């Protein structure tokens, strides 16, 4: 997830925040500035540890980190048509690719890397950066809206399929075939996102009042949530928790909404024999005779929890994560701060602000501290909210569980390799071959 930020903090031009993004498992935050980019670890509430910082590329407006590896993708306003891929711990450029127009967004998982232009999407094999497919039949997409499942076993891609409505095209990034189209909204799309397993897809339109969740790959609607009715808003961020039981949405207003994805059953418990219970039954029965739009509104679920920001109208992104074994809501804002909220359902579903970090502080770079601080068995977001027993298993798989390269494994040489690459970090992924520094991929249309 990624956002551009136009408002400059008091630090001036050198520290102006131009973009920010959480990595795929919400354990790291990347920011781009006029001076370069920075990566932060999100393993602690009290401390915001800078993992890496670089001033080699100025005026960065896209920066994406691949999970907790040393692979980072950067795009600068100085060369907006060029994508640069780096191994930041080795201080090496893996490769760079140039495209026919400005790069609007980049998405990546352990199998694929997507480069979204206004009228085309390029799909690369992330292990060797070869171009696999160019999608040319893409409607004009000036914001670069697209989503990629972080589950590399399916690598589903979603992008707008219409210039006039909220149609979503679901595409299989592994088989390189269109799966289906989803008529998600009447208005044009503003946000789309997959859950961690790639089994669900959430979307919001430009109105920002209704959020819908669809099953993947059949595209059937399974949930519908109402964010509000009084005013239209611009949804700036939409993200599932890692266990897929919660969905978080932030906008240009002062409220962040968290929805709970509960299974609805036909066998509902009997209401108490009270006047309010009786009226509730009568009211729900009457919805069968109301116009469809009104009836749908009656059945839409409301937010499970909310958070109040101390600002509105600023660009921001949110995520749900488990930090130090407790559920947290994190909001990164264009005002140059990271806000951390605690969620306690016993407090009426209100998220409490517990820490504010400046993204322009003078924090020291600690390259190796990130993995040491991360709990070995973090609990899932939903499990923590439900106050589970201490035996809850981790829902965030490590790279070794995915059958990837292990610590110390040597990658064979390649025709472009400067030598074998030894992975000294068990979280390193993918085993990309180091290409010659100025190697440019020639993008071929297909």
pLDDT of residue 382: 53
pLDDT of residue 350: 84
Residue 307 pairs with which residues in a beta bridge? 256
pLDDT of residue 257: 93
Residue ranges of the chain that CATH labels 2.40.10.480: 136-232
Residue ranges of the chain that CATH labels 2.130.10.10: 234-263+277-361
Place of tokens 């891609």: 157
Name every residue whose Cβ is closer than 8 Å to that of residue 151 and which is 6 or more positions away in sequence: 109, 194, 196, 197, 198
- Residue 326: Cβ-neighbour burial (10 angstroms; 0-12, 13-18, 19+): middle
Per-residue pLDDT of the chain (446 residues; tens, 9 = 90+): 556 554 444 444 345 789 999 999 999 999 999 999 999 999 999 999 999 999 999 999 999 999 999 999 999 999 999 999 999 999 999 999 999 999 999 999 999 999 999 999 999 999 889 999 999 989 999 999 999 999 988 899 999 999 999 999 999 999 999 999 999 999 999 999 999 999 999 999 998 889 999 999 999 999 999 876 556 788 999 999 999 999 999 998 999 999 999 764 443 444 444 454 454 455 445 545 545 444 444 345 567 899 999 888 889 999 999 998 899 999 999 999 999 999 765 555 789 999 999 998 644 444 444 443 344 344 555 555 544 333 333 332 222 222 233 333 333 333 333 333 343 444 555 555 555 433 344 444 44
pLDDT of residue 208: 87
| Alpha-carbon gap, residue 61 to 18, rounded angstroms | 6
pLDDT of residue 122: 98
> Could you tell me which CATH number the domain at 136-232 has?
2.40.10.480
| Alpha-carbon gap, residue 352 to 344, rounded angstroms | 8
Classified by CATH at the fold level, domain 234-263+277-361 comes out as Methylamine Dehydrogenase; Chain H (2.130.10)
| Alpha-carbon gap, residue 208 to 231, rounded angstroms | 9
pLDDT of residue 259: 93
| Alpha-carbon gap, residue 421 to 438, rounded angstroms | 18
Complete edge-to-edge strand list for the sheet that includes strand 17-22: 2-4, 17-22, 28-33, 37-41, 49-54
pLDDT of residue 227: 79
* pTM of the predicted model as reported, rounded to 2 decimal places: 0.77
Q: How many Cα atoms are found within 13 Å in the side-chain-facing hemisphere of 389?
A: 1
| Alpha-carbon gap, residue 78 to 117, rounded angstroms | 17
Q: For the range 88-91, what are the long-range contacts, defined as Cβ-Cβ under 8 Å and sequence gap of 24 or more?
A: 88/39, 88/52, 88/54, 89/52, 89/367, 89/424, 89/425
| Alpha-carbon gap, residue 51 to 367, rounded angstroms | 5
């Amino acid at each position: 997830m990624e956002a551009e930020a136009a408002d400059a903090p008091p630090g001036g031009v050198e520290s102006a925040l131009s973009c920010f993004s959480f990595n795929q498992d919400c354990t790291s935050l990347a920011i781009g500035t006029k001076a370069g980019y920075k990566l932060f670890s999100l393993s602690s509430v009290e401390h915001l540890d800078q993992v890496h910082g670089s001033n080699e590329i100025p005026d960065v407006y896209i920066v994406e980190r691949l999970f907790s590896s040393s692979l980072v993708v950067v795009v600068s306003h100085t060369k907006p048509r060029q994508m640069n891929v780096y191994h930041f711990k080795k201080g090496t450029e893996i490769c760079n690719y140039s495209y026919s127009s400005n790069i609007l967004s980049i998405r990546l998982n352990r199998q694929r890397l997507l480069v979204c232009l206004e009228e085309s999407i390029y799909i690369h094999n992330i292990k060797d950066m070869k171009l696999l497919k160019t999608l040319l039949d893409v409607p004009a997409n000036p914001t670069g809206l697209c989503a990629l499942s972080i589950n590399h076993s399916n690598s589903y891609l979603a992008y707008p399929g219409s210039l006039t409505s909220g149609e979503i095209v679901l595409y299989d990034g592994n088989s390189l075939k269109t799966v289906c189209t989803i008529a998600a909204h009447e208005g044009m799309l503003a946000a789309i996102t997959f859950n961690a397993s790639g089994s669900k897809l959430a979307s919001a339109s430009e109105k920002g009042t209704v959020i819908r969740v669809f099953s993947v790959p059949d595209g059937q609607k399974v949930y519908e949530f109402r964010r509000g009715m009084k005013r239209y808003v611009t949804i700036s961020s939409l993200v599932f928790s890692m266990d897929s039981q919660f969905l978080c949405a932030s906008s240009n207003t002062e409220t962040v909404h968290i929805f709970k994805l509960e299974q609805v059953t036909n066998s509902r418990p009997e209401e108490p024999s009270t006047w309010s219970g009786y009226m509730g039954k009568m009211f729900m029965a009457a919805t069968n005779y109301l116009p469809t739009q009104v009836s749908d509104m009656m059945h839409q679920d409301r937010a499970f929890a909310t958070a109040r920001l101390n600002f509105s109208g600023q660009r921001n992104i949110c995520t749900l994560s488990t930090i130090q074994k407790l559920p947290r809501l994190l909001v990164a804002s264009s005002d140059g701060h990271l806000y951390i909220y605690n969620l306690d359902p016993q407090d009426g579903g209100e998220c409490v602000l517990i820490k504010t970090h400046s993204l322009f502080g003078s924090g020291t770079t600690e390259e190796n501290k990130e993995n040491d601080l991360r709990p070995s068995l973090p609990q899932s977001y939903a499990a923590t909210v439900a106050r589970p027993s201490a035996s809850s298993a981790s829902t965030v798989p490590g790279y070794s569980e995915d059958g990837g390269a292990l610590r110390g494994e040597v990658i064979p040489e390649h025709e472009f390799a400067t030598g074998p690459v030894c992975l000294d970090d068990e979280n390193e992924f993918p085993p990309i071959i180091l290409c010659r520094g100025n190697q440019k991929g020639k993008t071929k249309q297909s």
